[in-house]
Structures are given as structure tokens and as C-alpha cells.
Amino acid sequence: MASVSIPACTSALLLDIEGTTTPITFVKDILFPYIREHLEDYLSTHWEEDECKEDVHLLKKQIEEDMKQNRACPVHVVDQTVHTDEEKAIKKVVEDVLWQMAADRKSTALKQLQGHMWRAAYASGRIKGEIYPDVVPSIKKWRERGLKVYIYSSGSVEAQKLLFRYSVEGDVLELFDGHFDTTIGAKVEAKSYERIAEKIGCQPEEITFLTDVAREAKAAEEAGFNVLVVVRPGNLELTDEESAHYNLITSFSQLQLTGRA
């Protein structure tokens, strides 16, 4: 694909992670399976710790809210091999988490627990954050030209920071000026992007958002952001209408910073 210019008024870039800075396969084939494989052991080990108690509390509140809103909820099956109250409670949390993951829920409660689990895996070297090779050189170039760079992902801020601190490129966390997750709002709602612009201290038209998801691009566009859709291997295919509407890039290196020294 050819170079794509971003407006001269741009002062900040807002980046999605999955499918934009990082292969979708990293999340689906490494991060999520890690949760499924280690969830019960993690809960059993940390059950009495305050952080784990807070995670479980948030998950329970999420289920209660789903029931109030008549949203779909997990159905619990009685396991006759489980005897103690703690074992029963842990099994229930495991079912809740696995159900939310299978339903591709983006709840803050789920993302917080996942972030805490990944923290130990990253720190021990069992997981390293994957980043496309064009990402770090491009961000360094943008920063040299005076642009600020932020992340907005459905993964918790903690999970975002872990990915970039323990990445295959080393610790690149300092390349980012800030991080946003779903605590600021859903990524498919224009209001979320308006809040981000306010937090960053920029007008919406001064921010360029890079994502692989057309619904997110639409929401950001409605909020007044400039939008680029990133086409990477494994990303959800765009419709012909979406491909015609948005500026598309396959690499960050295609971005041209118009009117900047």
C-alpha cells in the first residue's frame, strides 16, 4: 500500500493493540490459553490475598449487573467432586471467567483478573509481548517529530503496560505518553473518544486513531478523530464499503507526517 498522510494539525496518535501493534494470534494463541490453563491454580494460590478478593468481588458484581440487565449469564453445573466451600467458590469463578472469555466479553472485571495473572507470567519470562517490527521504529520517529503517543485497548492498563515492558523488543514502555482501557468507556462508543481527547488535552481533530476494527473506527470518527484502519494478517476482513471509506495501512511505516519538520 502507498503512503498515507495524517493531518498537519495532528498532535497525538492513539493506538489500538490487538491487530494493530500486536498480532491477533498473540492474544488468541498465547495470552488467552495461559488464562484458561492456569486460572484454577492461580485462584487457589491467591484466594486469601486482597488483590484476588477484589478481582472476585468485581466479577460477582459484573454477573449481578448482567442479571439485572437480562444479559446472558453462565449456568453453573454442580460438581460432585468438589467438597469445601472454598473449592465450590473457586469452581464458580472459573466457570464465570471461562464463560466470559468464550463469549468474548470485554468487561473491566474480567480484564483486571487477566492482567493480574499475566503480570506473573511476564515477570517470570514465560510470556514476552509480541510487537510488529514496524511499530517501535515508527513510534520513535513520531516522537522525534513532537507527537505524543497513547494506547487505547480493551485489555486493562496494567495488561497493556506488561506487554510493552516485557516485549520481544525489550522494555519500550517509555515510548507511550499514557494508556486507556474500558474504564473510560467502550471502544465502540463515540463518548469514550471524547473523554480521551479531554484527558489528553487535545481537540478531537488533533488526534489520529489507529485500529483494525471498523466499529471502533466509526465511533472515533463520530467523535471527530482522524482515523486509519490497520490491515494485518489474521485481522477481521473489512467490507468493500469499509475499505472504500477508510484510509488503510498495512504498516506504521506508511504514515507520512505532513507539514512537520
128 among annotated binding-site residues: no
Q: Residue 126 in 3-state DSSP?
A: coil
Q: State the alpha helices, DSSP H only, in the chain.
A: 24-26, 32-46, 50-68, 85-102, 108-123, 135-144, 157-165, 190-200, 214-222, 240-245
Query: Measured in whole angstroms, how far is the alpha carbon of residue 44 from the centre of its chain?
Result: 27
198 among annotated binding-site residues: no
Q: DSSP class of residue 31?
A: I
- Sequence length of the chain is 261
d(CA 195, CA 108): 17
Task: Please name which of 112, 188, 196 lies closest in space to residue 148, comparing C-alpha atoms.
Answer: 196
154 among annotated binding-site residues: yes
212 among annotated binding-site residues: yes
16 among annotated binding-site residues: yes
Contact 153, 17 (CB under 8 A): yes
87 among annotated binding-site residues: no
Question: What are the two backbone dihedrals, phi and then psi, of residue 173, each rounded to the nearest 5 degrees?
Answer: -60, -30
Sequential DSSP letters for 229-253: EE--TTSPPPPHHHHHHSEEESSGG
Annotated binding site for Mg(2+): 16, 18, 212
Annotated binding site: 16, 18, 153-154, 187, 212
Annotated binding site for substrate: 153-154, 187
